[in-house]
Amino acid sequence: MVSTKVVLSGWELDNPVIPASGTFGFGEEFHEMYDINVLGTFSFKGTTLDARFGNATPRIAECTSGMINAVGLQNPGVHHVIEHELPKLKTFFHKKVIANISGFAIDEYVETCRLIDSQEQVGIIELNVSCPNVHGGGMAFGVSAENAAAVTRAVKKVTTKPLYVKLSPNVTDIVEIAKACEDAGADGLSLINTLLGMRIDLRTKKPVIANTMGGFSGPAIFPVALRMVYQVAKAVGIPVIGMGGVSTAEDVIEMMLAGATAVQVGAQNLVDPFVCPKIIEDLPRVMQKYGITELKDIIGGAWK
């Protein structure tokens, strides 16, 4: 027998597989296809204080081994999420969720996190300081150690739930920013968010995406994500949730060896909506293949 259980800030998950924010909505559409309770948990759609329509279209572009998105944090706002999405979610998902929160100023982050912190269904707050496809806020906080620490410190003052800061890879030194967030009180880190990319339409000779640039995700970014998870997990003393191009059970094992306690699956959900249950089902086979009995025992195995 093998065990796929892992623990995030005292919260035991049946397995480390977590659909990433922005690729799973609030779970309703996926619930119609399979029992999403097989998941470790999931990170729900990035939520801001007020409702957002998002960026102009087109806002998706395909790439070799990936995609670019500039959705722009389209969401119904935190009040709608609390009043409608979470009660609906409770009827079909019987575990706590990760609340992914974004903002455009520190006071917006603080108020949105304060509101979501009181919800019993939320197990972890994931502070998104790294979205590369909105103007202002978002990545502006994530590319500066000082700013990332400031928003982390401010949110910690009004929350009781474990706070994980989602980091941007579009920086010179991600370890510096990770350490700054840890020093400011972060309970964990999520990385990486998407890389900044673009495509040009050869017929129009203009950028494909109305926003010009957007977040590049998919299997092509896995080696970059793995490298950054390795660097950060080795440098900090708090848990890391690894993500970026994960699409197989082998990728999950590799991320955990690099230092991730749990692993999020993003773009691949849009390619194959059943990818997460497939990974979960395949994990015991892959563990046995590589002589792994307890998943939690391999965390950081590549450098410990």
Instruction: Domains for the chain: give ranges and CATH numbers.
Output: 6-298 (3.20.20.70)
* Residue 131 falls in the annotated catalytic set: yes
pLDDT per residue of the chain (304 residues) written in tens, 0 to 9: 899 999 999 999 999 999 999 999 999 999 999 999 999 999 999 999 999 999 999 999 999 999 999 998 899 999 999 999 999 999 999 999 999 999 988 999 999 999 999 999 999 999 999 765 454 555 567 888 999 999 999 999 999 999 999 999 999 999 999 999 999 999 999 999 999 999 999 999 999 999 999 999 999 999 999 999 999 999 999 999 999 999 999 999 999 999 999 999 999 999 999 999 999 999 999 999 999 999 999 999 999 9
DSSP 283: H
The pLDDT of residue 142 is: 83
Exactly one of 113, 131, 181, 276 is catalytic; which is it? 131
The pLDDT of residue 104 is: 87
* DSSP-derived 3-state class of residue 168: coil
What percent of the chain is helix, strand and coil (3-state, nearest 5)?
A: 35, 20, 45
The pLDDT of residue 105 is: 87
Q: Which two tokens stand for residue 133?
A: 């496809």
Between strands 206-207 and 262-265, the pairing is unpaired
Please name which of 80, 99, 84 lies closest in space to residue 24, comparing C-alpha atoms: 99
Q: Which two tokens stand for residue 32?
A: 């119609």
Give the C-alpha separation, 185 to 163, whole Å: 8
Rg (CA), the chain: 18
CA dihedral 290, 293, 298, 299 (to 10 degrees): 130
Burial of 136 (0-12, 13-18, 19+ CB in 10 A): exposed
